[in-house]
Structure 1
Amino acid sequence: MTTMEAMVPHIVGGLLVLNATFASSAPSGIVEDMMEQFRFSIHVATLTVSLFVAGYCVGPLLWGPLSESYGRRPIFIIILFYTGFQVDSALSPNTASILTFRLLGGIFASCPLANSGALVSDIWDARTRGKALALFSVAPFAGPALGPVVAGYISTAGASWRWLYWVLTIFAGFCLFIIYFTLPETFAPVLLVIKAKRLRAETGDERYYAPLESEDKIPLGKRVEKILARPFKVMFQEPMLIAVTMYMSFVFGCIYLLFEAFPIVFVEGHHFRSGTLGLMFLPLFLGSVVGVISYLIVFNPPYERATDKYAPDPVPPEVRLELALFAAPLFAISFFWVGWTSFPSISFCAPMMSSLVLGWTAVHIFLALINYIIDTYLFVAASALAAATVVRSVFGAVFPLFTRQMYVPLNPRWASTLLGCIALFMVPIPFVLMKYGPTLRAKSKNAPTKAPMKIENIDIEGEKVV
């Protein structure tokens, strides 16, 4: 696969993640309109975001392992059902239906979140993967940041709140069209299955087969059990994955917490309207963009030099963690910043700009840790990422639910300080893995000790694939 050919699935994967994350936060900008129509409380309104993110907890249990059994492309086409649930949300007649369809939409929207990182690992080698993931990583932060902006101005313009869901439907339908016509299969074991079938058809020799085809002989019940259990089996066997997942989950939860915290700071404190409130999330998006640019200019070149240094062996995954050593302390500082500049007497620019630093650091933490997971677990990367996605989605769904209960009694100053202290407590995680990661990998049941073979170097001969 040439670089230009690899860019197509790479861009498609990023677009799908942008679609999913944009839809997750967008209802926060039309909360008042939905509350007026359905007569529910602010706590129920919060569920329109939390239930969608809760769907991320369920979907990856299926989509990640299924993609390792049937390939990436068939599973990505699942977005067909997600598109339908956006239509259902737009037509919802009552509270129960809108909440139900938000949950179902989140389950199917989680497919790209679970599998896009694995897709990147399929098409790029270790030297290029960091740069590719850097460009790809803007999407998970751009989506949540842009969703409230679009929704807020739909509300301010006087359009029905249902128009937001029609916008999400159009976006999802466009993504489905792109997937169907441009996304090839990228998973090497499935490509071997396709090659084996072709050779059997061309030669009539039934001795040609691929290792993945042996799974067809496993009873359906055991296959389902294997698919559902694999992500957590991988996670509970791996202390490294548990530590990394908990850190990423906290960062992810803090991002979604902002969608409930910022209305308290800017609407109740500075008396902003919905459209203006949405603009307060733009520094989060800009911070992620600046983070990607700084990664490509400052942090990625040393890694590329490391690939030459360690060649022909792979670069140790711990090299990826150097990025988090700088970002982790600054992530904690950003919460102290937003907290102690959130007084109504202080210009709104001060707390708003803290999210610029938060976005910059969050991107670097995610880049470091996701690259670390992929480099460490390789062919079970989809299951490892699926388990990480489930756990961090629990945090993303739960954090908005207690935000108001925390930020109102404690006030934004002390609530943000509490989060900053928790973030400081997690700062040592990348430092500890830098030191003890090689020892833990040597004892791992899932981390390979050799570099993966490239698909073009794998041939099928006789009765087995070698």
Structure 2
Amino acid sequence: MSPDTIIQSAYDKGEGEATRPSSLKDPEALPVDGRKYPGRGTLEDPFVVDWDLGDPENPFNWSRLRKWIITLQLAVGTWTVSFCSSSYSGGLGPMSAELHISREVAILGVSLYVLGFGLGPLLFAPMSEVRTDRPVFLITYSIYALFHLGGALGHNAATILSTRLLAGTFGSSPLTNASGVIADMWVARDRGVVSAIYATAPFMGPVIGPIVGGWIVETRLGWRFNFWLMFIFSILALLFGFIAMTETYAPALLRKRATKLRRESGGQYHFISIHDIGRHKSITQTLKLNLRRPFLFLATEPIVLFFALYISIVYATLYAFFAAFPIVFQQIRHFSPGEGGLAFLGVGAGVVLGTSLAPYGNKLYWRAMERSETGIAPPEARLYMPMMGAILCPVGLFWFAWTSTPPIHWIVPILGGFPFGTGIAQIMQGLLQYLMDTYTIYCASAVASTVVLRCTLAAVFPLISPTMYAHLGPQWAASVFAFLSLACTPMPFLFFKYGPLIRSKSKFASSQMAGATLIPSPLETVQEKGGPHAQPLKI
């Protein structure tokens, strides 16, 4: 087992602190900065900079309050971007009339924005692995906020649609980089609840957007105020980022420490981050490699490919509803735009329930840790909730499909959104946690692979939904999405059984997880393990 594996294993057991084995320390190393570093301090044999036991600069050892503030900032940034994707839909009717465009052209504003979510990660996720997170977020989010002014001030469809595409592209960085930041700070034992809470943002934003956008259109403020509200929310999220965002990526932090130590020694000694040992590629070469990696993952990693397909289908179905709900509730049932937006409350309530079940999923994960001989739970322990969600999603979609028209009361299809919302929350949370546990330092690229695919489908589904509803009718059009979800239902069950075998053949999967398997046992009471640093997460 390599030194890096030893340290990562300690983290995955739930231990917030770890140190490099003493056998790696050079007994003749000179004390620098109050510490002893392996090496001689020469150009040929530089001092190797790594974390010490209890190192306060190690993100795993930061206070819970600090880590929660950073996590909250990520959630706020992601929620804002997601909210802006759908609040636009509340003003489709008035905007189409004022700009003299068809409703299909107006819907392009949703599709192009979401398509930008898929384009941005191709650049921003690789940048975050070179990385520093803070500059990537602050620069891209600043540009993102400004592009909302194109919709607020633009006088033609071309201006509005082009700025929507650019806004989605530059606003996408928190959608992919957040997973890496969470993995940088939270040990695997705590990561389940944290990831579940964060993963709510990409779904609650789109659900709340049409509600707010619909009621704004009915006031004197008009449809353009939707864009001003997007701009205001984006500026507030950006200010929160300026205050709370900090670097969490261990290679970047250790590289910075090595540079600082060399400067403080007056250039007398040479220092190198442990992550840079044997690294011969330039930043440009590394960036190019990381740029290809999301596509490489989709082409060579079955885990990423199948989970990306599953996440894409449920995520794109949610965005298809932004075109389908106005048809079902406004055209067929004659709701106002504001009332039509309220129809999303069923989905929103389901997302809240799905998130609230996260602590139970985390308990199952802890039990898997207890049963493991190594104290490390395999990623398959993250799949309990997705297996439940895989059943709920098609149930909710078929429910909505076959109750969507009169004489069935309008509340019935809205209630059908409840199991669908619960299911997508459970699927999104569990599958993203599985990817984070499986790919560790490559998780940003693994998640970027899913984002690229899911946002491409999410851009297409709203465009084809009106045509499907016109030609197939409300019941069968919605049933198409239900059948797609039903076809994906076996995936979490199959990976629960065969995941260890598939991971063992992966080039990118974390080495200490490669052979980890679940050991069946009764659902005994959870007993915490791992000493003082392995306490359960307190919310």
TM-score by length of 2: 0.81
Paired residue total? 451
What amino acid is aligned across from residue 314 of structure 2 in structure 1?
V
Which residue is equivalent to 2:116? 55
User: For 1:133-212, what aligned pairs fall within 5 Å after superposition?
Assistant: 133-203=195-265, 204-210=267-273
The 1:197/1:164 distance shift into structure 2, 3 A limit, reads same
Which residue is equivalent to 1:314? 376
User: For 1:63-78, what aligned pairs fall within 5 Å after superposition?
Assistant: 63-77=124-138, 78=140
Q: CA deviation at 1:205?
A: 4.1
String of CA shifts for 1:136-167, please: whole Å, max 9, x gaps. 12211110011111111110112122111111
1:226 paired with 2:289, answer yes
1:328 paired with 2:390, answer yes
Q: CA deviation at 1:418?
A: 2.0
String of CA shifts for 1:302-321, please: whole Å, max 9, x gaps. 21232233374421101111
User: For 1:241-320, what aligned pairs fall within 5 Å after superposition?
Assistant: 241-296=304-359, 298-310=360-372, 312-320=374-382
Separation of aligned partners in 1, 2:309 and 2:280: 37
What amino acid is aligned across from residue 85 of structure 2 in structure 1?
S
1:110 paired with 2:110, answer no
* Worse-matched range after superposition: 214-223 or 166-175: 214-223
Given that 1:69 and 1:212 are in contact with CA atoms closer than 8 Å, whether structure 2 keeps it comes out as no
Separation of aligned partners in 1, 2:347 and 2:284: 45
String of CA shifts for 1:276-312, please: whole Å, max 9, x gaps. 001001121111111111222x322121232233374
Q: CA deviation at 1:212?
A: 5.5
Structure 1 counterpart of 2:142, from 51, 55, 80: 80
String of CA shifts for 1:242-273, please: whole Å, max 9, x gaps. 01110000001000000011111111111001
Given that 1:87 and 1:166 are in contact with CA atoms closer than 8 Å, whether structure 2 keeps it comes out as yes
Which residue is equivalent to 1:457? none
1:416 paired with 2:478, answer yes
The 1:130/1:219 distance shift into structure 2, 3 A limit, reads closer
1:28 paired with 2:89, answer yes
Which residue is equivalent to 2:98? 37
Which secondary structure does the structure 1 equivalent of 2:210 belong to?
Answer: helix
The 1:154/1:207 distance shift into structure 2, 3 A limit, reads same
Separation of aligned partners in 2, 1:5 and 1:373: 25
What amino acid is aligned across from residue 61 of structure 1 in structure 2?
L
The 1:311/1:143 distance shift into structure 2, 3 A limit, reads farther
TM-score by length of 1: 0.93
Which residue is equivalent to 2:37? none
Given that 2:131 and 2:249 are in contact with CA atoms closer than 8 Å, whether structure 1 keeps it comes out as no
Which secondary structure does the structure 2 equivalent of 1:450 belong to?
Answer: helix
String of CA shifts for 1:209-246, please: whole Å, max 9, x gaps. 12565799645653442232122123322011101110
The 1:205/1:392 distance shift into structure 2, 3 A limit, reads farther
Q: CA deviation at 1:200?
A: 1.0
Higher helix share: 1
Bigger CA radius of gyration:
2
Query: What stretches of structure 1 of length at least 5 have no aligned partner?
Result: 453-466
Q: CA deviation at 1:450?
A: 2.0
Given that 2:214 and 2:339 are in contact with CA atoms closer than 8 Å, whether structure 1 keeps it comes out as yes
The structure with higher relative contact order (CA 8 Å, sep 6+) is 1
1:237 paired with 2:263, answer no
* Worse-matched range after superposition: 386-395 or 67-76: 67-76
Given that 2:118 and 2:452 are in contact with CA atoms closer than 8 Å, whether structure 1 keeps it comes out as yes
Which secondary structure does the structure 2 equivalent of 1:247 belong to?
Answer: helix
Which residue is equivalent to 2:421? 359
* Worse-matched range after superposition: 368-377 or 283-292: 283-292
Q: CA deviation at 1:206?
A: 4.3
What amino acid is aligned across from residue 326 of structure 2 in structure 1?
P
Given that 2:130 and 2:286 are in contact with CA atoms closer than 8 Å, whether structure 1 keeps it comes out as no
Output the aligned Cα RMSD.
Answer: 1.7
Q: CA deviation at 1:41?
A: 0.2
The 1:311/1:164 distance shift into structure 2, 3 A limit, reads farther
Percent same amino acid at aligned positions? 35
